[in-house]
């Protein structure tokens, strides 16, 4: 099996990517304001070495571990968010099985050589770069940005342990004066943390042992819902929970949806919830593949748990039966009478599955296997979901995709769909995630992950990618009758922002949280941007 470096080189050699110009979004211009930025929080002196005191760093170099704004929610003039640390390393280890330590100019992943893994035998090598996540509060009126994490770690020994064992704050929501944030435990279960929305006071924490992941909260018709996964990483199934708590008892939930795959994102559409899902670890039925599910009419109760309907799944598009197992679905939104959603593809995950299932003997066959297993994000919409009048449209995607037949090799196979507006990834083959969607000011915004910048770190043999491609994209549909237009295709002023992980609207304004795991990019005086998460305010200034 090829290593990740060789895989990346082959991907670039075969990728039909072209830069998409960041043309003005019609007549709309935007003002971008950086509200917050992760700062160096550790000193790095070499793989496997103890971490010197600091920063400031008398020895070693500054390192910024907090990589993602992994969750984001607004209540009044306050914006709460939770972070995830070294997320690129965690994904490489847990999803791709790559645990060989790596260091380059952009980032370091120590895996099992890290001091964290060496001093805590319960942490597997794949997660050796984990660090406790953080909770932050931004006041949009005063501009104050406050790290609330110490209020958790000093509340009690149990709260401190729970924070330290949380992989990242992956979901955030608010209702009835309570703010909830949570994410998967390193051991088992889902860790949740509660704050008083009015005072900012920490209310406590709890582990829900029945669940293993959470990606999104949604408030709809006076209730708060949470999409969760079951088992490690959520890979064994999913559920939708309705919050039944309050300030005094903030961790009470009722299961109102039982899903065969973990819920990823939620939207409210015409009196129902719509959930996107991620394929299970070993999908055996179409229901366990990444798909779109609709709920019974709201309000939802326990009796509705078994009443959800799958309206669409990726088997209706992806012709290769192995690659379809690696799909996830991401952002979802209701807009103009339609439900919009997009696909997600962990780079090289489908390649590794194909290599393990169909090992190839020749270099030519190995290169073909790498090239033809890559997928960029596709964007869809549907209406009348789950009804006889259901309509599904492919907006950005492919009319045909390569599929493998043992003994015959690769060939293009029809997807059964014709894209209405354009190619996958909005024309950029490295746009691999539709990460979030939000409606603001009458426009539907779509945020992506773009992994083109990572390629040069994965392989010295790969030809350079076009710098005009680097950085996450933000696109906007001005109406349901027009194609999307680029708002920004270069990471919102920092091309190391390879993803826009979260979007929260406030009228026409958007608050955005980025994904930027370049943990060694900490020198503000050089000609390269800095690593670590960013919180950004984006406001239309003309339309």
pLDDT in tens, 467-514: 998 999 999 999 999 999 999 999 999 999 999 999 999 999 999 999
Max CA pair span of the chain = 68
Confidence of residue 388 (pLDDT cuts 50, 70, 90): very high
Contacts of residue 183, Cβ cutoff 8 Å, sequence gap at least 6: 70, 71, 82, 84, 133, 166, 167, 168, 169, 170, 171, 190, 191, 213, 214
Mean pLDDT of 416-443: 98
pLDDT at 526 over 70: yes
Q: Output phi, psi for 346, to 5 deg.
A: -65, 125
Give the residues across from 476 on adjacent strands.
445, 485
The tokens of 310 are what?
A: 């799958």
pLDDT at 12 over 90: no
Q: What is the pLDDT of residue 170?
A: 98
How buried is residue 55: exposed, middle or buried, by Cβ count under 10 Å (0-12/13-18/19+)? middle
The runs of H, that is alpha helices, within 20-139 are: 87-94, 115-119
Q: What is the pLDDT of residue 457?
A: 81
Sequence spans of domains, the chain:
72-79+132-206
C-alpha distances out from residue 36 to 40, 56, 78, 239, Å: 13, 20, 14, 33
The tokens of 465 are what?
A: 């990618």
Mean pLDDT of 293-298: 99
d(C-alpha 239, C-alpha 400), whole Å: 33
Distance of CA 48 to the CA centre of its chain: 29
d(C-alpha 247, C-alpha 71), whole Å: 21
Q: What is the pLDDT of residue 460?
A: 64
Output helix, strand, coil percentages for the chain, rounded to the nearest 5.
Answer: 15, 40, 45
C-alpha distances out from residue 86 to 230, 246, 403, 462, 535, Å: 24, 33, 34, 24, 17
Q: What is the pLDDT of residue 19?
A: 36
Residue 332 near residue 434, CB atoms below 8 Å: no
Mean pLDDT of 173-184: 99
Please choose, from the candidates 225, 214, 224, 217, the residue with its C-alpha nearest in 3D space to the C-alpha of residue 308. Answer: 225
Q: What is the pLDDT of residue 450?
A: 98
How buried is residue 155: exposed, middle or buried, by Cβ count under 10 Å (0-12/13-18/19+)? middle
pLDDT at 16 over 50: no
Mean pLDDT of 438-448: 98
Torsional sign, CA 412, 416, 422, 426: negative
The tokens of 3 are what?
A: 């290593």
pLDDT at 431 over 60: yes
pLDDT at 22 over 70: no
Q: In the CATH scheme, what is the code of domain 72-79+132-206?
A: 2.40.10
Confidence of residue 32 (pLDDT cuts 50, 70, 90): very high
Q: What is the pLDDT of residue 6?
A: 46
Lowest mean pLDDT among 10-14, 137-141, 297-301, 469-473: 10-14
C-alpha distances out from residue 423 to 105, 379, 380, 429, 539, Å: 33, 9, 12, 9, 28
The tokens of 464 are what?
A: 């350079």
Mean pLDDT of 220-228: 99
d(C-alpha 347, C-alpha 345), whole Å: 6
Say if strands 78-85 and 135-139 run parallel, antiparallel, or are unpaired. Answer: antiparallel
C-alpha distances out from residue 386 to 98, 294, 328, Å: 40, 7, 20
Confidence of residue 26 (pLDDT cuts 50, 70, 90): low
| More reliable by pLDDT, 393 or 457 | 393
Lowest mean pLDDT among 12-16, 66-70, 280-284, 494-498: 12-16
Q: Output phi, psi for 64, to 5 deg.
A: -110, 110
Contacts of residue 12, Cβ cutoff 8 Å, sequence gap at least 6: 455, 459, 462, 463, 465
d(C-alpha 135, C-alpha 98), whole Å: 29
How buried is residue 531: exposed, middle or buried, by Cβ count under 10 Å (0-12/13-18/19+)? buried
The runs of H, that is alpha helices, within 120-190 are: 149-153, 157-164
Mean pLDDT of 369-373: 96
Contacts of residue 540, Cβ cutoff 8 Å, sequence gap at least 6: 28, 29, 30, 441, 508, 509
d(C-alpha 404, C-alpha 82), whole Å: 41
Question: What is the chain's mean pLDDT, rounded?
Answer: 94
d(C-alpha 72, C-alpha 402), whole Å: 37
The tokens of 463 are what?
A: 């030809």
d(C-alpha 70, C-alpha 221), whole Å: 25
Q: What is the pLDDT of residue 17?
A: 39
Does pTM surpass 0.75?
yes
Please choose, from the candidates 432, 437, 433, the residue with its C-alpha nearest in 3D space to the C-alpha of residue 475. Answer: 437
| More reliable by pLDDT, 23 or 324 | 324
Give the residues across from 344 on adjacent strands.
328, 433
Q: What is the pLDDT of residue 528?
A: 97
pLDDT at 39 over 70: yes
Residue 511 near residue 77, CB atoms below 8 Å: no
Contacts of residue 22, Cβ cutoff 8 Å, sequence gap at least 6: 486, 488, 489, 490
Q: What is the pLDDT of residue 27?
A: 75
pLDDT at 1 over 90: no
Mean pLDDT of 453-471: 84
Say if strands 102-103 and 145-147 run parallel, antiparallel, or are unpaired. Answer: unpaired
pLDDT at 13 over 90: no
pLDDT at 437 over 60: yes
pLDDT at 5 over 80: no
pLDDT at 14 over 70: no
Mean pLDDT of 389-395: 99
């Amino acid at each position: 099996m090829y290593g990740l470096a060789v895989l990346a080189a082959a991907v670039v050699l075969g990728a039909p990517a072209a830069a998409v110009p960041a043309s003005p979004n019609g007549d709309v211009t935007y003002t971008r304001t950086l509200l917050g930025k992760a700062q160096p929080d550790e000193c790095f002196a070499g793989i496997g070495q103890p971490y010197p005191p600091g920063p400031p760093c008398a020895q070693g170099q500054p390192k910024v571990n907090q990589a993602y704004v992994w969750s984001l929610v607004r209540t009044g003039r306050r914006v709460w968010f939770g972070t995830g640390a070294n997320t690129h390393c965690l994904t490489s280890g847990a999803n791709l099985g790559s645990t060989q330590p790596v260091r380059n100019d952009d980032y370091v992943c120590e895996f099992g050589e890290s001091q964290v893994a060496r001093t805590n035998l319960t942490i597997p090598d794949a997660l050796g770069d984990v660090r406790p996540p953080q909770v932050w509060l931004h006041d949009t009126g005063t501009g104050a940005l406050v790290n609330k994490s110490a209020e958790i770690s000093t509340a009690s020994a149990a709260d401190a342990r729970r924070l330290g064992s949380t992989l990242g704050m992956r979901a955030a929501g608010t209702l009835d004066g309570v703010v909830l944030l949570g994410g998967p435990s390193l051991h088992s279960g889902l860790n949740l943390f509660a704050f008083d929305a009015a005072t900012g006071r920490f209310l406590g924490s709890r582990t829900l042992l029945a669940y293993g992941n959470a990606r999104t909260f949604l408030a709809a018709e006076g209730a708060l819902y949470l999409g969760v996964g079951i088992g490690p990483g959520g890979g064994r199934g999913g559920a939708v929970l309705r919050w039944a708590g309050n300030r005094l008892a903030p961790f009470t939930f009722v299961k109102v949806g039982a899903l065969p795959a973990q819920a990823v994102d939620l939207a409210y559409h015409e009196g129902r919830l719509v959930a996107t899902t991620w394929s299970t670890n070993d999908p055996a039925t179409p229901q366990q593949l990444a798909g779109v599910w609709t709920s019974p009419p709201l309000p939802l109760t326990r009796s509705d748990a078994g009443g959800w309907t799958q309206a669409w799944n990726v088997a209706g598009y992806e012709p290769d039966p192995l690659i379809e197992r690696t799909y996830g679905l991401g952002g979802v939104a209701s807009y103009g009478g339609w439900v919009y959603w997009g696909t997600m593809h962990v780079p090289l995950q489908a390649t590794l599955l194909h290599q393990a299932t169909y090992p190839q003997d020749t270099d030519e066959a190995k290169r073909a296997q790498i090239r033809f297993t890559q997928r960029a994000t596709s964007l869809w919409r549907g209406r009348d979901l789950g009804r006889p009048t259901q309509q599904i449209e492919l907006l950005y995607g492919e009319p045909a995709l390569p599929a493998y037949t043992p003994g015959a090799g690769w060939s293009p196979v029809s997807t059964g769909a014709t894209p209405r507006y354009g190619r996958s990834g909005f024309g950029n083959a490295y746009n691999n995630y539709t990460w979030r969607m939000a409606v603001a000011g009458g426009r539907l915004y779509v945020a992506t992950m773009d992994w083109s910048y990572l390629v040069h770190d994965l392989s010295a043999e790969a030809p350079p990618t076009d710098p005009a491609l680097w950085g996450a994209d933000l696109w906007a549909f001005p109406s349901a009758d027009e194609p999307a237009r680029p708002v920004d295709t270069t990471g919102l002023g920092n091309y190391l922002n390879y993803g826009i992980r979260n979007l929260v609207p406030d009228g026409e304004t958007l608050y955005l949280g980025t994904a930027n795991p370049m943990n060694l990019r900490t020198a503000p005086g050089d000609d390269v941007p800095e690593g670590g998460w960013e919180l950004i305010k984006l406001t239309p200034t003309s339309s």
